Chain A
Amino acid sequence: MGNEASTERVTLHGVELEVRRVGSGSTLLFLHGFQPVEPEASFLSLLGRRAAVVAPSHPGFGASTRPKDFESVYDLLNLYSAFIETLPGKVTLVGASFGGWLAAELAVRSCARIERLVLVDALGIKVGPRDVPDILDIFNTHPAKVKAATWADPNKAPDLDAMTDAQLVSRHRNWESLSLYGWHPYLHNPRLSYWLDRISVPTLVLWGAQDGIVKPAYGEAYAKRIPGARFAQIAGAGHHPELEQPDHFADHVLGFLA
């Protein structure tokens, strides 16, 4: 692709963050979901054609450290508020899945450093009745069912048998960290929905049409609560349109930037 790409270590408030940087242009901060971004993921280089993509691994994910007792979304939001201030100018904030929850929370707090917001199959709000879960319980559901719900084409799921020991160790650590941040209340903030109309920047809510972790109707409800937000679905994608349909994903995001 010819994009400049590097992985850096950034120390911020006692956390050593692993940060992948790809491409050039205006800054696009990508906050990942259940797993950190693979450095060679094609969606990064596709976005990097038009933007300077900055993709940190959350504390406790990938090679990022997680200080003792740093185990709440409150901690993550304070960290990313500080991180955004280190980036040049205003950013396009893209949050996927769990990272989408963080992105929505950050935008509710302040849009001063945010130019645009993209939520991709984002978690974080409560939509349905109290006895109907909005988000599939990925911790308490059989892994085979979680896999089927995650991918439009389960063959796109990562092959765990092909991974190195180090990759699997990292994956399990990510899983632990995710459970600390998101076990209870389960991957959402019961009060976030009330505050979504604070978001004052152009917002695109993108959804994998076959997402079984959080259904497209949840995404539509999310978009309705954000003033002026657009909702779009990506066919042939489950919970990870950025991985299953990277070209369509990049077209949507870059089109939104234009």
Chain B
Amino acid sequence: MDAWWQCEIPYPDVAKNITDAADSVRASLPNSYCDPATAARHFDEVMDEFAYCDEVGMNVVCIEHHAGINSMIGSNPMITGALARQTKKVRVLSLGTLVSLRPDPVRVAEEYATADTMLRGRFDIGFVKSGGTEMASANMQPVNNEERFWEAIDLVQKALTSHDGPVSWEGKHFHHRHINIWPGPYQRPMPPMWAATGDPRSAAEVGRRGFRHVLVLRGPEGTKSAYEAHRNARREAGLPKVTTDNFAYAAMVYVGDTHDEGVEVGSQLLWFLNTSLKSAPQYNKFLPGAAPPQAAPGLYRTKPKVDAGIGFKDAEKGVTTASQNSQKLMALTAKEAMDQGILFAGSPDTVHKQITEFYDKVGGFGHLVLIGRSGHMTHAESMKGIKLFGEEVLPRLREIAPIEVG
């Protein structure tokens, strides 16, 4: 098993009375609450943490989110480009430019090919569907977001793999008559591809495409069923079996000297769930396309006749939407988060145990993505967690070799 560290570079410094009073901490919270000097300090610290991951031999991940306290990485290519020079040996995963929010996937392919070239092939490309508040922030149509997502990926791949002069694209969502990027990607035919998705339909598509499939904070049942949907789709399409190397899981992870220290400091990561996910109803439950029309009775009634069923049970069946999943996550305690495999925290030994137990529950995965710093965790705490994980846990995880699953 390999490991990848990431920090979303949040802005946790808005006063609690402000975030409590706001109906959303994303999309509509005025950026007057974001002090530029404080923001710059956060970027400095986290870039140093990424560089430290390179020293301890842990791969790094750069995400993207827009217009909120949860993350200041609105421009993934900027940070990915910086990581290309901040790191010397580890792999860099962009997870990723939100392609369904970008008007021209060819430009995204140019950015990715540039990053791959600067990194001399130490580069993985990941795709994330986006949704929620980002539909407002990016002014993008929410109902056909998923359809746009796959067409954008097709076009990025077309641009990355075409080398004989201009090619053309006239699709439903994207039109580009003269595609001929310079440079092309360093890795041929193209860098390894990842996608983060949890619902069975898109999990099946990830499987058919043979991407590395990453589940983010989905708990054991949701993760297991998404991996299964991935494998089933491959089997039904007559595609070869895959190994655990095709599967990844992203959780909050913190390692302290002792179990209690790891849990205490690691619990600060829950800020991401209980503070930074808050968003107004127009950005989640009423967002067109976010929930299927059949969910409407539970969404609209102020006095629900029947509970709409926000819970992991439904996530397992694949009918819980991402926004319902977030509502459940917002209320999570540290103990619940640890029981659900959302948070792995403790000493090197207890964290290793939690990860391997989760590994067994979901049928194995080859890559662990660490949501390593969030909320009010300090730079020093974060550096310590990276060091202890990298030195005490990662070597043991590396002993877990890929196995065929299917």
Contact = CB atoms under 8 A, between A and B. Distances in A.
Interface of A: 69, 71, 139-143, 160-161, 163, 165, 168-173, 175-176, 178-180, 183-184
28 contacts: A140-B27, A140-B136, A141-B282, A142-B23, A143-B286, A160-B300, A161-B302, A161-B303, A163-B300, A165-B296, A165-B297, A168-B297, A168-B300, A168-B301, A169-B294, A169-B296, A171-B300, A172-B291, A172-B300, A175-B286, A176-B143, A179-B141, A179-B143, A179-B288, A180-B141, A180-B143, A180-B144, A183-B142
B139 A184 contact: yes
A228 B391 CA distance: 81
A172 B301 CA distance: 12
A176 B293 contact: yes
A180 to B, nearest CB: 5
A52 B136 CA distance: 42
A187 B281 CA distance: 21
Contacts of A169: 293-294, 296-297
A160 B296 CA distance: 10
B282 A139 contact: yes
A143 B301 contact: no
Nearest to B133: A140
Which one of B27, B172, B283, B296 has the highest number of Cβ atoms from chain A below 10 Å of its Cβ?
A: B296
Which label, helix, strand, loop or mixed, suits the secondary structure of the B interface?
loop
Contacts of A179: 141-143, 288-289
Contacts of A170: 293
Given A171-B300, A179-B143, A183-B143, 7 more contacts: A69-B172, A165-B297, A168-B297, A168-B299, A171-B296, A172-B293, A180-B288
Nearest to A183: B141
Nearest to B291: A172
A179 B143 CA distance: 7
A126 to B, nearest CB: 16
Interface string B268-300: 000000000000111100111101011111011
Contacts of B143: 71, 176, 179-180, 183
Contacts of A171: 296, 300
A172 B139 contact: no
A248 to B, nearest CB: 30
A137 B294 CA distance: 25
A142 B281 contact: yes
A223 B395 CA distance: 74
Contact of A160 (B27, B287, B301): B301
Nearest to B23: A142
B144 to A, nearest CB: 7
Contacts of A71: 143-144
A181 to B, nearest CB: 10
A171 B281 CA distance: 16
Contacts of A163: 300
A172 B113 CA distance: 41
A178 B288 contact: yes
A28 to B, nearest CB: 30
